[in-house]
Amino acid sequence: MREDLKNDFSSAYHKEPAHTYFSPGRVNLIGEHIDYNGGLVMPCAITFGTYLLVSPNGANVFRFKSLNFDDIAEIPLQSSYDKDGNGWYNFPLGVISYFTQHDKLLQGLDMLYYGDIPIGSGLSSSASIEVVTAFALNQLFDAGFSKLDLVKLSKWVENSFIGLSSGIMDQFSVAFGEKDKALMLNCDTLDYEAVDSNLGDYVLAIVNTNKPRKLAESKYNERVQECQTALSALKQELNINYLCDIDTRTFDEHSHLITDPTVLKRATHVVAENERVKLAANALSSNNLPEFGRLMYASHDSLRDLYEVSGIELDTVIEYAKTNKNVAGARMTGAGFGGCAIALVKADKFEEFSKGVTEYYTEKIGYAPSVYQSSIGDGVRELFD
Ligand code: GLA
């Protein structure tokens, strides 16, 4: 694979790449729509991700090519950069923009990207592109940012350059991910613990609904806004910074302050989901996979009914999972509105699950999902031969 990519780089730029970097994508085991509410999440980096091959070009220009998209761009070095339409290269361009704004001296680069994460599938292909670019620039130009700085600046790209009000989970997990570990991340303090993701007899299946994610961004920003509205209402009586600063009991005592029924549903999800993450962490550390699975189903139901970010495609996958005795639990992962579901499947029954879910889904939805067995991998890094 890496040799092939080097050949692609050589045919694109007529020279060898100087460096190859890789940043993974992620799945979130539980704790959905929690990060921007200051609570606990449990993501892991996966072995799919984004490769970046790069070489300085001695010209004052950034050349962007991708093996996944047709559009290419050549953008001269400038003192500031603006988003350029909706091209994929806005993600690296946003990173370049941040470095420039912070007076980091850059030089022209020839860059080739290749991602084996299914694009737009909710496995954080965008965070992966941002973080791999930030990591590369930091190293190539000796910019002196810490890994946490790279995470924060990549989030800035997503929020301020691209315009999605996302939290920090995706960038954090693709940067700090560790093989066979889930990250228990507190999204308020950014303290985290890498916990053994010991799945016993089970493996993690990823089911991509292959549903195009239209309008996902505006719906996402709408949810963020609804949580802000809930928080402002609760602040009339509570001294809190985030919805996740309270437990379900305190929430129940003050929920009358939230007058809009939709906003109330959103906040009810957030507070209960945050508690589910704590229970899930205990279940994982005591190898109680059935309990972990039960919490996954509960998380999905809440995202479907209260947070309303699922949809017929994701629900169909979960519906199938519930009929299969070799599945401990399943849920949508990531922002929702299409994208992927994950399922805990008995290792020796993975093929059977894959076939079963494909048939069930295709029959109901009219096209097939893609099913992968996921391995949990390391975070962003340079790759050496
Ligand atoms: C997207 C965002 C994350 C997070 C999830 C939902 O992946 O980028 O910050 O909010 O949705 O949990």
Given the residues 4, 35, 82, 170, the one annotated as active site: 170
Ligand 1 centroid to residue 331 C-alpha, Å:
14
Q: Which residues on adjacent β-strands are paired with residue 53? A: 20, 112
Pocket test for ligand 1, best of 27, 33, 187, 242 (most atoms within 8 A of CB): 33
Same domain, 185 and 67: yes
Output the pLDDT for position 28: 98
Residue nearest to atom 11 of ligand 1 (CA): 335
Ligand 1 atom nearest 41 alpha carbon: 12
Ligand 1 atom nearest 124 alpha carbon: 7
Pocket test for ligand 1, best of 165, 170, 222 (most atoms within 8 A of CB): 170
Same domain, 276 and 297: yes
For the chain, how long is the longest CA-to-CA vector?
66
Whether 131 and 171 have beta carbons less than 8 Å apart is answered as: yes
Same domain, 192 and 213: no
Ligand 1 atom nearest 168 alpha carbon: 9
Q: How far apart are CA 243 and CA 150, in angstroms?
A: 26
Q: How far apart are CA 162 and CA 90, in angstroms?
A: 7
Ligand 1 centroid to residue 100 C-alpha, Å:
27
Residue nearest to atom 9 of ligand 1 (CA): 167
Looking up residue 216, the CATH number of its domain turns out to be 3.30.70.890
Same domain, 139 and 78: yes
Same domain, 340 and 355: yes
| Per-residue pLDDT tens digits of the chain, which is 385 residues long | 678 999 999 999 999 999 999 999 999 999 999 999 999 999 999 999 999 999 999 999 999 999 999 999 999 999 999 999 989 999 999 999 999 999 999 999 999 999 998 877 889 999 999 999 999 999 999 999 999 999 999 999 999 999 999 999 999 999 999 999 999 999 999 999 999 988 889 999 999 999 977 656 789 999 999 999 999 999 999 999 999 999 999 999 999 999 999 999 999 999 999 999 999 999 999 999 999 999 999 999 999 999 999 999 999 999 999 999 999 999 999 999 999 999 999 999 999 999 999 999 999 999 999 999 988 999 999 999 7
- Give just the sign of the alpha carbon dihedral 365, 370, 372, 378: negative
Ligand 1 centroid to residue 82 C-alpha, Å:
24
Looking up residue 111, the CATH number of its domain turns out to be 3.30.230.10
Same domain, 73 and 57: yes
pTM of the model: 0.96
Output the pLDDT for position 178: 97
Same domain, 166 and 53: yes
Q: Tally the domains of the chain.
A: 2
Output the pLDDT for position 120: 78
Ligand 1 site, CB within 6 A: 28, 32-33, 35-36, 166-167, 169-170, 334-335
Same domain, 110 and 252: no
Same domain, 220 and 338: yes
170 is annotated as an active-site residue: yes
Ligand 1 centroid to residue 308 C-alpha, Å:
14
Same domain, 194 and 50: yes
Range of the domain at 294: 202-374
Q: How far apart are CA 28 and CA 38, in angstroms?
A: 16
Output the pLDDT for position 279: 97
Q: How far apart are CA 115 and CA 174, in angstroms?
A: 14
Ligand 1 centroid to residue 348 C-alpha, Å:
31
